């Protein structure tokens, strides 16, 4: 029995190591290629730098300078930060209020409304593009930050409400009843009890929503078009593939810029991630 358990642990560790390598090796290759001269990138593989890793002359930051100054990646990076920040804050905040109301308040038609919201999860985004875009053109929201913020909020709300509703429903009811007996108002209970206890779920939701908005190409391309002033990194990177198709050193630099922020966000919130994923799976 012990030998079998040992084998299973070794097998699990081997699978984890393989999965880590599958993620780390391509990322490392992009990073190394992004700081190598163009001639080296075209003639040799990125792994050749390990033959003489201390040789400074084989590395350069000119790729990043070129992509930021010439290709407008600096502006695109700023746009992505603006879009992803507000596109995460709006749906998470709205979903927190809605989920708390559905889980702790009693009102007519609650189950019906909640069912409609959850049912929207299965609606393909592509079905909404044409009608929403027509409305955007009529009201002047096409090609604006506000338009893409509202789009990401609408698309992210159903899953956000579902996830937070499960967590709020799992919180002990006695805790809220005691607060009401002590004279706490509904908003006080929400801000002082529900939100502090829901930090793991909120952090997980922020990770999901931020990564989805940051890596989104389709929604931004539809509602922002090719407007360079408001185009995020994904749209600019897609255009660079056509403009700089042979300049791999520039493309890898642009790709690594788009990778950095999601990695930082995930690492910063990772301690809450597993706890948030399991939120609501066990009733208190």
Interval 39-80: pLDDT, tens: 777 777 778 777 776 665 677 788 888 777 776 778 888 899
Same domain, 89 and 187: yes
The domain boundary residue, chosen from 40, 60, 80: 60
For residue 57, the model assigns a pLDDT of 63
- Structure confidence at residue 81 (pLDDT): 92
Number of domains in the chain: 2
Q: Give domain status of residue 65, yes or no.
A: no
pLDDT in tens, 137-167: 999 888 889 999 999 999 999 999 998 888 8
Q: Domain range holding 74?
A: 70-277
* Same domain membership, residue 198 and residue 167: yes
Do both 49 and 172 map to the same domain?
no
Q: Can you tell me the mean pLDDT for 118-134? A: 88
Q: Is residue 257 part of a domain?
A: yes
Which of 60, 78, 100 is a domain's end point? 60
> Which structure tokens are listed for 90?
């709006």
Mean pLDDT score of the chain: 82
Predicted model pTM: 0.82
User: What is the model's pLDDT at position 284?
Assistant: 43
pLDDT on residue 146: 92
Question: What is the average pLDDT across 186-201?
Answer: 85
Residue 197 maps to a domain: yes
Question: Does residue 80 sit in the same domain as residue 183?
Answer: yes
Pair (200, 127) in one structural domain? yes
Residue 163 and residue 206 in one domain: yes
Confidence of residue 280 (pLDDT cuts 50, 70, 90): very low
| Residue 284 belongs to a domain | no
Q: Are residues 54 and 135 in the same domain?
A: no
């Amino acid at each position: 029995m012990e030998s079998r358990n040992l084998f299973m642990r070794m097998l699990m560790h081997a699978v984890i190591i393989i999965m880590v390598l599958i993620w780390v090796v391509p990322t490392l290759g992009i990073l190394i290629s992004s700081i190598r001269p163009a001639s080296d990138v075209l003639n040799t593989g990125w792994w050749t730098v390990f033959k003489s890793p201390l040789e400074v002359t084989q590395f350069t930051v000119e790729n990043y300078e070129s992509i930021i100054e010439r290709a407008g990646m600096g502006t695109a990076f700023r746009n992505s930060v603006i879009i992803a920040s507000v596109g995460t804050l709006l749906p998470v905040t709205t979903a927190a209020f809605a989920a708390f109301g559905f889980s702790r308040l009693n009102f007519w038609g609650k189950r019906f409304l909640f069912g409609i919201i959850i049912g929207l999860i299965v609606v393909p985004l592509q079905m909404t593009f044409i009608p929403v875009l027509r409305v955007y053109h009529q009201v002047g929201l096409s090609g604006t930050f506000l338009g893409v913020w509202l789009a990401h909020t609408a698309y992210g709300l159903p899953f956000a409400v579902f996830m937070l509703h499960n967590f709020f429903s799992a919180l002990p009811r006695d805790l809220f009843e005691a607060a009401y007996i002590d004279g706490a108002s509904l908003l006080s209970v929400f801000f002082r009890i529900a939100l502090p206890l829901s930090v793991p779920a909120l952090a997980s939701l922020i990770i999901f929503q931020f990564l989805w908005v940051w890596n989104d190409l389709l929604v931004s391309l539809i509602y922002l078009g090719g407007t360079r002033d408001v185009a995020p990194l994904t749209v600019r990177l897609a255009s660079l593939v056509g403009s700089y198709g042979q300049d791999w050193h520039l493309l890898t630099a642009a790709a690594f810029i788009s990778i950095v922020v999601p990695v930082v966000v995930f690492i910063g919130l990772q301690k809450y991630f597993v706890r948030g994923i399991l939120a609501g799976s066990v009733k208190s």
